[in-house]
Each structure stands twice: as structure tokens, then as C-alpha cells.
Amino acid sequence: MSDNGFFAHESAIIDEGCTIGSGTKIWHFSHIMSGCTIGHNCNIGQNVVISPQVVLGNNVKVQNNVSVYTGVTCEDDVFLGPSAVFTNVINPRSAIARKDQYRQTLVQRGASIGANATIVCGHTIGRYALIGAGAVVTKDVKPYALVVGNPARQTGWVSEYGHKLKFDSNCIAVCPESGKRYKLTDGEVTEM
């Protein structure tokens, strides 16, 4: 641990003006850019870029080779799989500066984004949603939704523990790991 209550590998670069919570670990060759806010007990893997002004909540897990660009906010307990990437401009051009056109992306509490997934900017990933490996998200994702493919499409629902939910004739499902119950009403899932 450093004097600030977090650990940073000697090869990591942390720019001025960052706020990093206690218990957080930042591993080899990662770059935390100016103005970032990283919560408590996060794990930032190897070769990760966290761009200026990004906000990560508590207990966020960022696996190796992830790029989190300006405009992204991840709430508590979010998981970002290896080589996942976010965008922040819809129509980037090398010769045209569009820093004033960054679109905001929100990843809500407990959501997981699979390896090599791409999250196109300007969307919200709902609470406890599960984005499959390699998916390309081009629109909002509902809470508890399971989405896969390119472009990503919803194929089902998952529990807070990440298990696919099977709803009975009363639109009730039970997570096989936690025993928590979920209700499907009008295309929305809520925990009971």
C-alpha cells in the first residue's frame, strides 16, 4: 500500500489531480490520467488506461488491456472484462477535434461487461446487466438484461449473481445460487 491507502505498481503512471480510494490496486503499465475518481477496493489490471475525468465507484474490477475513456462513469461493483473498450465520440476523425462532443456513458451498479466487448458512447448499461464477450453495445441495456452479439441484442435475463433466469407462468424466477426472486413485468425485471 502507498501512503494514500492504495497500491500502485512502480510501472503504473498516476497523473496529478486523481482521487483514489483505499484498498485499490493499480497494476503494471496502467495509466490513470488527470482528474479521475476511483473508489475504494477497486482492482485496475495491467495495461489499463483510465482517461481524464472518468469516475469508477467502489469495488470496480477492471481487467487487463481495458480502455475507459472520458465520459464514462461506472457505479459500484462493476466488472470490466479483459480488452473491453468504451468510445466517447460517435464520429471520430483524426484531423477534427471533437473533445466538446464527448457523449456520456453510464454503467450502473453490478453490471458486467465481457472480454473484448465494445460500448459505443452515449448509452446506459442497467444494474446487474451482463454484456457477453465480444458484444458491441449500440443502445441502452435494461437492468438484469443479458445481451450478446454485434450489434448486441438481448437474449434473456440474469440475476444479480449472473445466472440466466427462467421465468415461470407467473413471471417469477429464482436465482439458483442466491435464492433471490425476480419478477418480469412489462419487459422489466425487478428483484422481489
From the candidate CATH numbers 2.160.10.10, 3.40.1360.10, 3.90.700.10, 3.40.50.2300, the one assigned to the domain spanning 7-162 = 2.160.10.10
DSSP state of 100: G
Domains of the chain, by residue range, sit at 7-162
Q: What is the pLDDT of residue 171?
A: 97
Contacts of residue 21, Cβ cutoff 8 Å, sequence gap at least 6: 5, 6, 38, 39, 40, 41, 42, 58
Residue 89 CA to residue 99 CA, distance in Å, equals 8
Q: What is the mean pLDDT of the chain?
A: 96
The yes-or-no verdict on residue 126 having pLDDT over 80 is yes
The yes-or-no verdict on residue 50 having pLDDT over 80 is yes
More confident residue, 175 or 100: 175
The yes-or-no verdict on residue 3 having pLDDT over 80 is no
The yes-or-no verdict on residue 4 having pLDDT over 90 is no
Which residue has cell 449473481? Answer: 161
The yes-or-no verdict on residue 99 having pLDDT over 90 is no
The yes-or-no verdict on residue 101 having pLDDT over 60 is yes
Q: pTM higher than 0.85 for the full model?
A: yes
Which residue has cell 487487463? Answer: 64
